[in-house]
Amino acid sequence: MRDNSHLTAINEYDLLDNLIRSCAESGGFDVPVAQFTCAGLPESEFVTTEYEYDQGKNLTWIRFGEAVEGRQPNNVVRLLYDERDLVYQVTPAAGDAGQSTTQYDYDRNGNIARLTRGSKTCHA
């Protein structure tokens, strides 16, 4: 087997130019020059991350490689937004017994006033 001198990352976007999928090479696959999507790439040679957005173009889900492949479905991050489209809660491992949510509370100017991680609260 010959060495691959280039590691490839392919990014796919939706019609609104939001990143929806990223495939990063983790092996020695020789990617064809005309390969513009993740379709057909060998799963054993690439790690795929998927992104999902709400109607306000806010990133709401990140699914990491193990979740995309179905081996670890809770290898995700869920993001919720408040009425001003500011990040309200971030939950790694959403749906897992070990999940822990970080909550952001803002003042009137959109500055973080309080940050709560699990059961611990920090004031800004």
Same domain, yes or no, for 103 and 42? Answer: no
Same domain, yes or no, for 61 and 119? Answer: yes
59-63 and 76-81 strand pairing:
antiparallel
Does 117 score more than 60 pLDDT? yes
Supply the pLDDT for residue 120: 60
Supply the pLDDT for residue 98: 85
Same domain, yes or no, for 35 and 62? Answer: no
The predicted model gives 86-98 an average pLDDT of: 92
The predicted model gives 41-51 an average pLDDT of: 89
Same domain, yes or no, for 65 and 28? Answer: no
Residue range of the domain that includes 96: 54-124
Q: What is the DSSP letter of 20?
A: E
Same domain, yes or no, for 43 and 75? Answer: no
Please give the distance of CA 67 from its chain centroid, rounded to a whole number. Answer: 11
Same domain, yes or no, for 25 and 66? Answer: no
* Unique residue bearing structure tokens 């919720």: 80
Does 49 score more than 70 pLDDT? yes
Same domain, yes or no, for 59 and 47? Answer: no
Same domain, yes or no, for 66 and 111? Answer: yes
